[in-house]
Structure formats: structure tokens, C-alpha cells
Structure 1
Amino acid sequence: MLRLNRLSLTDFRTYASLTWRPAARISVLYGPNGSGKTNLLEAISLLVPGRGLRGARLADLPRQGGFDTWAVAGRFQTSEGKADIGTGSAPDGPADRRVFRLDGQAPRSQADIARLVAAVWLTPQMDRLFQEGLSGRRRFLDRLVWALEPGHAREMAAHDTAVGSRNRLLADGRQDRAWLAGLEDAIARHAVAASAARLALVSRLNQQIEAGLAGSFPPARIGLACPIAGRLATEPALAVEDWLRAGLEAGRKRDAAAGGAALGAHRTDLLMTDVTTGTPAALASTGQQKALLIGLILAHAALIAAARGFAPLLLLDEPAVHLDPQRRDSLWQVLAGLPAQIVLTGTDREIFLPLVAHAEAFETGGGSLRPDTSFLRPDAVGSPVSCVP
């Protein structure tokens, strides 16, 4: 099992210096808002490629009153042995540049890190996923794809770069047909590749959900609102690329007036429906949406475990919010039986008491962690927490 054995923070968010050695498979962090719970989850999420669970600007990560630099390091037990992974400000570079280290050396690419570790997370911001614009749902979808297909990030980056270049050309009124045709060819190729990866993930997720999850989480049906994915379901990829190129060429005048491309992978939306009631997630209650999302996250974690041979770290920020007591108890039962390392947060210590036999717990605040001896004894493996004010 993938395990985080040690987490070290230096001038990160509210933590001047902290070393935490998780001792149990499940760790509970509780305390009032602003006490540093989510900061610890964010630190762990930054040890895998990507912008972390908050998607924060690098300028927001250093501790206020510190030195405008920050560092996070983790020691992991992976399927390939022990690995030390670190990230933070570049030692001799600009503050807005972030670097990675793998066993003390710069990795050849972030794919070297993605091969060893993976993490999935649930945050309170995701509770509004189906009430906001499609861009947030698309980012959420692409993060799910990336966890299984690291190359998807490159496809989307290349696609978005080509779309931006085409938008600027059209906005400037420059009708360089050869240049526009080249950009539209790149958009078509990368959009079809990205859409195919999204379509494959949705299919695999639906199969995983249909296989069933323990507890009372409603089964969801995932779908894509995407003409590219719709065509890929019935047509060869090369034919879809030709269709997309032709559509982009025909839509140049329209796109110039609108200020953006009407066709492309950036227009995809994620759909989710409660299979039991037939209710689309956008019309479901807040609690129903939360239950659907938890089921989706757990299915995604199971999919990663099946595909990669190890379960990802599960980072669940305020997972009990909006859940009724029955679904909350169901969540604790599911988590207690999962073969994964899990970190949970919440403001109310009492809701975690059903996990006393399965989890260690810490109260957060003041840039430190205070062990709660009512839960599993964290001192069973030495000194799990040390901090320097």
C-alpha cells in the first residue's frame, strides 16, 4: 500500500516548521476554521504533480511573516520502495517558480513522481461543482483523467495553447490562412486525443460505479456534454479530426466576433445523474450532490488501484458536511474497510468518534498538531509529531 510515512513543512501557509509522521492508516484532523487543517491536506496534495487541491497561486503558499519561500517534503513507501519527494520555491530562482525533488535530485519530469504516488481529494469547494460554470467541472474531470493518463495534461496544454494563439490572430484581424490552418490542425488533433481520454475514463468510472459501493451512497451515471466525444462514440478518430478542422475553418468569422472558439475540448461539460432517482446532479439537493461526489471519488480511487496496483492517498476535507447521519455512518464504514491511507478533516471532533478504533486524531491550531488520546494511540510508533514554533 502507498503510505506517507513523514510530512515536513517549512514556512508553508500557517506552519513555520512541522514534522508529522502519520502512524495509522486513517488520520483525523479537527479544529476550528482557520486552524490549519486544509493547509496540511494541501501540502500533501502538492507532493503529486499539479497545483494541489486548492489550485492556489504560488505567491499564496509562503507563511505570512516568513521569508517568501516555502517547502513541503514527504517520505513515502511506494510499490518501488522508499521515496523522498519534495516541492517548494526554487532555492536560487524567482518566488513564483516551483521545483520538485525526487530523492534529492531534480526529476527528469513530473511523470517520474506521478509513477510513484497518486492522490485524490474532496473539498468543500467541490460541493458547488454542479451549480457553477462548466470550466470548474472540466478541470475536475481532467484531474480525474490525469490520475490515470499522465499524458492527458500535455494534450490539454497543447490544445489550450493553440486555441489561445488562434483567438489572438482572429482578434487582431489577421487572416493568415496557412497559420490559422496550422493552429486549427493542432486544435483538432489535441482535442480529439483529450476527448478520447475523457470518454474512456467516463466509461471506466461508470463500470466501477455499477460494480457497487458499500453503504448508502447513491449510484451515479457520468456523462459528457461534448460534440467531439459524441462523434468519437460512433466515428473513427481521424474522421472526427477532419470534422473539427472543417468546423473551425468555417467558424472563423463567428469566433472572431465572439472572442473565442465555439468548438474544441474546452467546451466539454461533465454530467452526473442519480441513477436511483433519475435526478440530474444540477437539480439535486446539496446533500444528494455531496453523496454523489463521494461515491464518484471512491470509485475513482478504486479505478486507480485496479489500474496501477496501489490505492491513491485519499484527502477528504470536511467530507461529513451536508451528509445526513445515515450516509455519514456509511462513509465511516466504507473508509474503515478501504486499503488506502486516508486523511480526514472536520470542525467537530464528535462526528469522528465512530472511527476511534480505526483512526488517529489530532487537534490543529497554532501551527502545530496535538494528539487526541481518545483515538488510536499515535505514540505507538514513536514520536509522530514535532514542531518548532
Structure 2
Amino acid sequence: MTLALTSLKLSHFRSHKLARMTLDPRPVALFGPNGAGKTNILEAVSLFSPGRGLRRSSAQDMTRRPEALGWKVQAELRSGHQVHEIDIWSEEGAARQTQIDGKPAAQTALGRVARILWLIPAMDRLWIEGADGRRRFLDRMTLSFEPSHAEASLTYEKAMRERNRLLKDMVRDPAWYGALEAQMASAGAEITTNRFAALKKITAAQENAATAFPTADLEIEHGEGEMPRGEDDLRTVLAENRTRDLAAGRTLIGPHRVDLMGTYRAKDVPARDCSTGEQKALLVSLILANARALAKELGAPPLVLLDEVAAHLDADRRAALYDEIVTLGAQAWMTGTEQGLFDTLGPRAQYFEVTEADGISSVVAR
């Protein structure tokens, strides 16, 4: 089974006033100078999955300037024998809206239609910056396997915000906390179960894989010791920790406090201590493992977005990456400054040149 976009249309989206692309299931190579609008195309594709997209931008930020009329992204997605029409838009900076096959849908519903992974330059510092980025990376992997993870995360975050408001107001009455902590415990246990299940699948997909990229051992750590996994345990811990939380004015324990730790297995070196090239290779390895695991579980690989994929990869590694993508059968969307970066793909890919003139991007098939 194949999962691929067969058409894409951008209207007043970022630097693209109007762009149309007709596609087949092969990898997509987008090339052109820096600032031409290549990443904007990847961002538009990333909106076909739950969440805020690969830049985590607001709907208002995505509109084309100076018109600021709003924007629209449309695609035809082929999944096996099914074809879905997806429309996502925002009017004059309002929250974005979604339609799937002509019917209004929640953003979380996109996870049941398309599975999308991405690797962008901003993630190159994943292992050496704060835990927030690593948690988002963990949750993107988890969401790719379990679409309901998005709903559980929203439920948990909403209840936690309400609990934090009580803590900041120094409310001490236990009755005010009970219902919120029950919601947090139920959603938090689901989040934790989903995360560990995802890591198990990623680990299995790395074992004995024919890959040129290093294996990364992953582990979830919690700053407060062992992470409570069960609903009852988490509810108990939240109740017991109220005094500390009151002093801090926020919730100090729970799935929102975990960190994802990575280790370069062959060298037994923490990812944070690896070279820039090794850190990039580990990230590529994890994206490929994630894609292999999804292909095994769902019968089709996900869409894979790789922005500036050549960065920190030598020619041999780059060629190996392309070979793995083709073997996997994924429609990978890749960007680079020149077409020559994709020479080893040859006819196995489809090519589009992206240029910009007077603030307007253009996309032409080559």
C-alpha cells in the first residue's frame, strides 16, 4: 500500500501566492536558492497532520504578506485504494479550519488519514538544548503510531492549566483538585503508555535494520525519579505533591516533566556528547526507524519531510539515505539548494525548482 500526495495547492500561503503541484508516489526533490520558499512547501504539507506544523506557527503567521487575506492549502491524498481530499485554511488570521472529503473535521482527525514525520534544521540541536524539544519529538513519534495521543495530550494539558491556576491562587481546598487530578491521571496514564509503546516499536525497527545510520538507544527519564505509569499511581502522586506544587505555583510531576535521552549505541556515548554530524545521523536514523515501524504496522510508510537534508551528511551517507527512502517506498519531501544534491536519486524521484522574485515564490516541475 502507498501513502502519497497526488496534488498540492497553496494559495496565499507564506511566500506562495499560488502554487500547484501534480505528484506521483516517488520521493519529491525541491531545489532552489535559500529563501525561495522550499521550506514553506514542507510546512504546508506538515499541516496535514495534527498539531501546529513543523514551524509551530500561528495561522496568522502563515498568511502571505502584505495582503494578509488569509490562506488555504489543499491536497489529494492517496492511501492504498482510498483517495481523500483535504482542505485547510485560515481567514484573516482566524484559527485554521479543516475539511476532510468535504466535511468539517477536527485537527486531531488528520492523524487517522495521514501519518507524517519530519526532520528540519531547527531539530539539529535537539540533544543539547532543553527538554521541551525532546518531549515534542517523542510525542511526534508517539502520535505517528497512535492518533488518539493528541486528544489525550490536549485533555491532560487543559486539566493541568486549571490545576496550575488553583496552585497560583493558593487554593488549598482538596475538593477543588480532585476532579482535575482524576482527569490528569487518566489522560497522563494514556500518554505514558503510548510513549513507551512507541519507543518499543522504534527500538524493534532499529534492530538488524539494513541501514548506514547509527542505532540510537532511547530512554524516558523523569526529573522526580521513576515516572508513575498507572492511573491510580499518578492520581495518588498528584494529591501527595500538592504542598510542593503550591510552593512552586505549578505541577512538578507528571508526563509533562519527562525527558527523552538518547545514546549512540556503537560508541556508548550520550547523544548530547556526540559530534554535530553524529547527532544529525542519529536523528536521521530515528526518523527512518519510525518510518519502517509504521510501514510494518500500517502496511504503508508515512510521508517524510526532510528540510535541508544534505546538511552534515557526506556524499556517501546522502546516497545511502536516498537508497533507504526508495527501498522503504516513502514519498519523502526533500529540499536542497541545488539539483545536483539529488543526483544519485536519478529517475527514482520527481523534481521541482522553487524560485522567488519580488517576494513571490514559484514552483516548476523539472
Question: After the TM superposition, which of the residue ranges 150-159 and 242-251 deviates more from structure 2?
Answer: 242-251
> 1:16·1:63 contact (CA, 8 Å) conserved in 2?
yes
**Whole-angstrom distance in 2 between the partners of 1:371 and 1:190:** 46
| Structure 1, gaps ≥5 residues long | 373-389
Choose from 338, 341, 365 the match for 1:348. 338
The alpha-carbon deviation at position 230 of structure 1 amounts to: 4.7
Report the counterpart of residue 217 of structure 2 in structure 1: 221
Choose from 91, 100, 103 the match for 1:102. 100
What TM-score does the superposition give when structure 2 sets the normalisation length?
0.93
**Whole-angstrom distance in 1 between the partners of 2:157 and 2:83:** 36
**Whole-angstrom distance in 2 between the partners of 1:241 and 1:6:** 44
3-state SS in 1 of match to 2:267: coil
Alignment of 1:79-90 (within 5 A): 79-90=80-91
Report the counterpart of residue 193 of structure 2 in structure 1: 196
> 1:76·1:83 contact (CA, 8 Å) conserved in 2?
yes
**Whole-angstrom distance in 2 between the partners of 1:320 and 1:229:** 39
Report the counterpart of residue 20 of structure 2 in structure 1: 19
**Whole-angstrom distance in 1 between the partners of 2:336 and 2:122:** 14
The alpha-carbon deviation at position 28 of structure 1 amounts to: 0.9
The CA deviation string for residues 319-350 of structure 1, in whole angstroms up to 9 with x for no partner, is: 12011333222112212322111211012332
Report the counterpart of residue 384 of structure 1 in structure 2: none
3-state SS in 2 of match to 1:70: strand
Identity of aligned residues (%): 38
Report the counterpart of residue 276 of structure 2 in structure 1: 286
Report the counterpart of residue 317 of structure 1 in structure 2: 307
3-state SS in 2 of match to 1:54: coil
**Whole-angstrom distance in 2 between the partners of 1:116 and 1:243:** 34
> 1:137·1:269 contact (CA, 8 Å) conserved in 2?
yes
**Whole-angstrom distance in 2 between the partners of 1:252 and 1:168:** 13
**Whole-angstrom distance in 2 between the partners of 1:117 and 1:263:** 33
Choose from 152, 155, 166 the match for 1:155. 152
The CA deviation string for residues 69-124 of structure 1, in whole angstroms up to 9 with x for no partner, is: 1000001222242221110115xxx63211111222213x4454332222111111
3-state SS in 2 of match to 1:48: coil
The alpha-carbon deviation at position 60 of structure 1 amounts to: 0.6
The CA deviation string for residues 232-269 of structure 1, in whole angstroms up to 9 with x for no partner, is: 6xxxx6xx433333332232222122232111110011
Root mean square deviation of aligned Cα: 2.0
Residues 85, 229 of structure 1: alpha-carbon distance in 2 compared, 3 angstrom cutoff: farther
Choose from 248, 257, 275 the match for 1:267. 257
**Whole-angstrom distance in 2 between the partners of 1:160 and 1:363:** 41
**Whole-angstrom distance in 2 between the partners of 1:364 and 1:291:** 27
Residues 205, 24 of structure 1: alpha-carbon distance in 2 compared, 3 angstrom cutoff: closer
Say whether residues 1:50 and 2:51 are aligned partners: yes
3-state SS in 2 of match to 1:357: helix
Report the counterpart of residue 133 of structure 2 in structure 1: 136
AA matched with 2:201: R
The alpha-carbon deviation at position 47 of structure 1 amounts to: 2.0
> 1:121·1:316 contact (CA, 8 Å) conserved in 2?
yes
**Whole-angstrom distance in 1 between the partners of 2:131 and 2:118:** 19
Question: After the TM superposition, which of the residue ranges 301-310 and 136-145 deviates more from structure 2?
Answer: 301-310
> 2:292·2:328 contact (CA, 8 Å) conserved in 1?
no
AA matched with 1:49: P
Report the counterpart of residue 351 of structure 2 in structure 1: 361
Choose from 143, 153, 177 the match for 2:174. 177
> 1:195·1:229 contact (CA, 8 Å) conserved in 2?
no
**Whole-angstrom distance in 2 between the partners of 1:228 and 1:79:** 45
3-state SS in 1 of match to 2:189: helix
Say whether residues 1:118 and 2:115 are aligned partners: yes
3-state SS in 2 of match to 1:7: strand
Question: After the TM superposition, which of the residue ranges 353-362 and 7-16 deviates more from structure 2?
Answer: 353-362
3-state SS in 1 of match to 2:17: strand
- For these two proteins, the number of residue pairs brought into alignment is 361
The alpha-carbon deviation at position 299 of structure 1 amounts to: 0.9
> 1:287·1:324 contact (CA, 8 Å) conserved in 2?
no
AA matched with 2:183: A
3-state SS in 2 of match to 1:97: coil
The alpha-carbon deviation at position 357 of structure 1 amounts to: 2.8
> 2:108·2:150 contact (CA, 8 Å) conserved in 1?
no
Report the counterpart of residue 68 of structure 1 in structure 2: 69
> 2:159·2:184 contact (CA, 8 Å) conserved in 1?
yes
Choose from 204, 207, 225 the match for 1:207. 204
> 1:47·1:73 contact (CA, 8 Å) conserved in 2?
no
3-state SS in 1 of match to 2:269: coil
Residues 322, 339 of structure 1: alpha-carbon distance in 2 compared, 3 angstrom cutoff: same
**Whole-angstrom distance in 2 between the partners of 1:231 and 1:256:** 20
